[in-house]
Amino acid sequence: KNEVEQSPQNLTAQEGEFITINCSYSVGISALHWLQQHPGGGIVSLFMLSSGKKKHGRLIATINIQEKHSSLHITASHPRDSAVYICAAPLGSSNYKLTFGKGTLLTVNP
Amino acid sequence: DGGITQSPKYLFRKEGQNVTLSCEQNLNHDAMYWYRQDPGQGLRLIYYSQIVNDFQKGDIAEGYSVSREKKESFPLTVTSAQKNPTAFYLCASRRTGDLYEQYFGPGTRLTVT
């Protein structure tokens, strides 16, 4: 079965801590997506990466194609980072269709 | 500004009624998608369309219908045949090609009682 698995499901941190969220997938892919969903429900695309590492501000995403694994890191976490973080990958034959992980609920306390 | 709009944000309907959710984009994207999100589950694909006048069923299409008469618009109808219609519905779009991100609308929360 094609799957995208995330861990942990829930994560609570203190402001300033380094955060890591993990994502593993079951088959080879062209690119992996990291998304952020705030309490209001809207989803924002953070990264799409096919190899190596990408950085945007305090967010870093890495992917290991051979191990079928990706991580999202947040440095110097802040309460405004509190959100659900979702990874997604095109596991089927079409790159148009994404399979989504269940998300990681991150809460950063001041 | 370019983006995706969904309306309304909250929608309430009685059981047995069909309801249509709106999705409009001005990003000039060819592909559009409808997803359903339930608590504790990942987003699930209902329907997608890669081009005007063409669409394909996703993983949970039963009880839903769509149309794609214009590039900018991809309305979703939740029919009375959908057994558990109460959910958060998200529309998305992307450019044609392998390595393009999906852009999401703000979502519509549908409650059917």
Chain A positions in Cβ-Cβ contact with residue B99 (cut-off 8 Å)? 30-31, 48, 50, 95
Q: Say which of B41, B45, B98 has its CB closest to residue A102.
A: B41
First to last CA, chain A: 40
Q: Quick check: A1 pLDDT over 60?
A: no
Q: Say which of B40, B98, B104 has its CB closest to residue A42.
A: B104
pLDDT digits (tens, 9 = 90+) for B90-100: 999 998 776 67
What mean pLDDT, rounded, does chain B reach? Answer: 92
Chain A positions in Cβ-Cβ contact with residue B44 (cut-off 8 Å)? 100
Identify residues of A whose CB sits under 8 angstroms from chain B CBs.
4, 30-31, 33, 35, 40-45, 48, 50, 86, 88, 95-103
> Does residue B49 contact residue B31 with C-beta atoms inside 8 Å?
yes
The three state secondary structure string of B8-52 is CCEEEECCCCCEEEEEEECCCCCEEEEEEECCCCCCEEEEEEEEC
The alpha-carbon gap from B42 to the nearest alpha carbon of chain A, in Å, equals 4
Per-residue pLDDT, averaged over B73-77, amounts to 97
Identify the pLDDT of residue A108: 97
Identify the pLDDT of residue B37: 94
Chain B positions in Cβ-Cβ contact with residue A54 (cut-off 8 Å)? none
CA dist A42 and A22 (Å) reads 22
B107 contacts chain A (CB < 8 A): yes
Identify the pLDDT of residue B1: 61
Instruction: Please state the separation of Cα A84 from the chain's center in Å.
Output: 9
B50 contacts chain A (CB < 8 A): yes
Instruction: Please state the separation of Cα B4 from the chain's center in Å.
Output: 11
Torsion over CA: B9, B14, B16, B18 (sign): negative
Q: Which tops the pLDDT comparison, A103 or A90?
A: A103
Chain B positions in Cβ-Cβ contact with residue A30 (cut-off 8 Å)? 98-99
Identify the pLDDT of residue B77: 97
Pick the residue from chain B with its C-alpha nearest to A49: B99
pLDDT digits (tens, 9 = 90+) for A12-71: 999 999 999 999 998 888 889 999 999 878 899 999 998 999 999 999 999 999 999 999
